[in-house]
């Protein structure tokens, strides 16, 4: 298992969704390894490009590379293999082709180690906004409690405004050996349903949690999260 959830998902995405050959996958991964070492040397990251969980930060890195003489020269010598590796990762991270993935996203479910290296103070785990965006796009901007729920068009995406929610809260990560910040545990919700899950009456919350649990039970299990419905309700209510 890699240390980085986004790396594991990226590799699975290239192989399973994009159906790229082993050699193309290897080229992209090698390119990202090289880019990571360049960024590390510049002290822009700690270790790997995959540690970046904010898309805005990834945008900054992209601009930086484009303006970096050393990188531009290297890329041109390498017949654009480096920028091509980066661009393919960016395409994945920004979910640009996730609208057509649909249920194929389930093929990417697998056990992920939690990321202790991004454990922050107050025992809160840094959430990946990249995984969140991907989860919203793959749900086609529809509320997973009811696809009929309407919101408004968000300026940033030109799609219905939706929010992500972790069915099993990340504050409970310490109870699990595998990561809770995985596709299987990230739900796309309209803002009303999302607020309901956090601030609704116990009865309404339990009903909503049960429904989502039933939809995700097997995907959670495939992601290493084995939990009964009652335990899931108890954790999600905490």
* Stretch 67-106 residues interacting with Zn ion (CB under 5 A): none
Cβ closer to Zn ion: 89 or 141?
141
Region near Zn ion per CB under 5 A, out of 47-55, 61-69, 118-126, 182-190? 182-190
Answer yes or no whether residue 170 interacts with Zn ion by CB under 5 A. no
Cβ closer to Zn ion: 145 or 232?
145
Answer yes or no whether residue 212 interacts with Zn ion by CB under 5 A. no
* Stretch 213-232 residues interacting with Zn ion (CB under 5 A): none
Distance CA 80, CA 12 (A): 23
Q: Which residues contact 213 (CB under 8 A, 6 or more apart)?
A: 167, 229, 232, 233
Judged by CB under 5 A, the residue of 190, 212, 227, 235 near Zn ion is: 190
The structure tokens listed for 171 are: 């504050």
Judged by CB under 5 A, the residue of 65, 131, 193, 232 near Zn ion is: 193
Distances (CA, A) of 98 to 12, 18, 89, 105, 223: 14, 11, 13, 9, 20
Region near Zn ion per CB under 5 A, out of 17-25, 38-46, 187-195, 217-225? 187-195
Distances (CA, A) of 119 to 40, 61, 114: 20, 22, 9
Local structure of 189: helix, strand or coil: strand
Cβ closer to Zn ion: 149 or 219?
149
Region near Zn ion per CB under 5 A, out of 41-49, 120-128, 157-165, 179-187? 157-165
- Number of residues lying near Zn ion (CB under 5 A): 6
> How far, in whole angstroms, is CA 84 from its chain's centroid?
21
Q: Is 207 exposed, middle or buried (0-12, 13-18, 19+ CB in 10 A)?
A: middle
Answer yes or no whether residue 165 interacts with Zn ion by CB under 5 A. yes
Region near Zn ion per CB under 5 A, out of 49-57, 58-66, 185-193, 199-207? 185-193
Cβ closer to Zn ion: 78 or 200?
200
Distance CA 111, CA 91 (A): 23
Least CB distance from residue 195 to Zn ion, whole Å?
9
Listed residue (143, 136, 139) closest to 157, CA to CA: 136
Owner of token pair 């009303």: 192
Least CB distance from residue 52 to Zn ion, whole Å?
22
Least CB distance from residue 144 to Zn ion, whole Å?
8
- Beta-strand ranges (E) seen in the chain are 163-166, 186-189
Answer yes or no whether residue 145 interacts with Zn ion by CB under 5 A. yes
Cβ closer to Zn ion: 62 or 149?
149
Binding residues vs Zn ion (CB under 5 A): 143, 145, 149, 165, 190, 193
């Amino acid at each position: 298992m890699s240390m980085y959830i986004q790396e594991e998902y990226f590799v699975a995405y290239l192989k399973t969704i994009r159906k790229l050959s082993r050699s193309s996958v290897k080229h992209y991964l090698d390119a990202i390894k090289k880019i990571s070492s360049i960024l590390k040397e510049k002290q822009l990251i700690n270790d790997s490009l995959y540690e970046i969980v904010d898309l805005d930060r990834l945008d900054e890195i992209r601009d930086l590379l484009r303006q970096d003489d050393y990188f531009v020269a290297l890329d041109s010598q390498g017949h654009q293999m480096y920028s091509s590796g980066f661009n393919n990762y960016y395409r994945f991270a920004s979910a640009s082709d996730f609208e057509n993935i649909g249920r194929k996203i389930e093929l990417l479910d697998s056990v992920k180690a939690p990321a202790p290296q991004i454990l922050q103070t107050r025992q809160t785990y840094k959430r990946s906004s990249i995984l969140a965006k991907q989860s919203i796009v793959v749900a086609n901007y529809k509320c997973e409690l009811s696809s009929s729920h309407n919101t408004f068009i968000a300026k940033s995406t030109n799609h219905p405004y939706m929010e992500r929610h972790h069915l099993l809260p990340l504050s409970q990560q310490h109870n699990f050996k595998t990561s809770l910040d995985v596709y299987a545990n990230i739900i796309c919700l309209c803002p009303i349903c999302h607020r309901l899950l956090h601030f609704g009456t116990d009865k309404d919350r339990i009903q909503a949690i049960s429904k989502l649990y039933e939809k995700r039970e097997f995907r959670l299990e495939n992601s290493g999260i084995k939990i009964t419905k009652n335990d899931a309700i108890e954790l999600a209510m905490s």
